[in-house]
Amino acid sequence: MALRVGLTKLRLLVACLLIGLAMAGCQAQFVADYDEIFDRAVTDTQKKTDAFLQKLAEPRSPLRVFARAKDSYDDILNDIHSLKIRAEANNSGGLNAETLIQIEKTAATIRELRALHANDARDVTDRLVVLTQQTVDVQFSSMLKFENLKRRGEAKKKQ
């Protein structure tokens, strides 16, 4: 009996809350809106990273000497930093928190390769570069996929 009364009160409370939210014209938003500029910037950074790693994967690539590759690493990390700035600008209320994690983890992968290369270029083998490329491809693709899901969310909200 007490449980039934409790459930009825709970249902009324939830209904009142929902009616209040609906009357206030509220729309829930837990994730930032799709950002076309960010989407394009991720694609550009992915292409630049891919081009660099493909050159680095060539067995006699001059880029195997760290001093010759340093500018490319810095350029890519600089682009990723710009992605972070863009995502932070859309992080009101923490709506872009996961995208910021994705950016930071992608930067961490490039920094890992850079540090390995700077420490001893002999560690940067053909196979290592191929596996690095596979890994970083998944990271960029995950960022792009997620940004695309934000766009699909927008389309649904407008319906």
The first and second tokens of residue 7, run together, are 């459930």
The answer to whether residues 123 and 117 touch, using CB atoms and an 8 Å cutoff, is: yes
User: How many CA atoms lie within 13 Å of 123's alpha carbon, on the beta-carbon side?
Assistant: 11
142 lines the binding site for other proteins (CB under 8 A)? yes
Q: Which stretch binds other proteins (CB under 8 A): 43-51, 61-69, 79-87, 102-110?
A: 102-110
Distance CA 57, CA 133 (A): 9
146 lines the binding site for other proteins (CB under 8 A)? yes
Residues with Cβ within 8 Å of 97's Cβ and at least 6 positions away in sequence, in order, are 91
135 lines the binding site for other proteins (CB under 8 A)? yes
Footprint on this chain of other proteins (rule: CB under 8 A) = 11-12, 15, 18-19, 21-23, 25-31, 98-99, 101-102, 105-106, 108-109, 112-113, 115-116, 119-120, 122-128, 131-132, 134-136, 138-139, 141-143, 145-146, 149-150, 153, 156-157
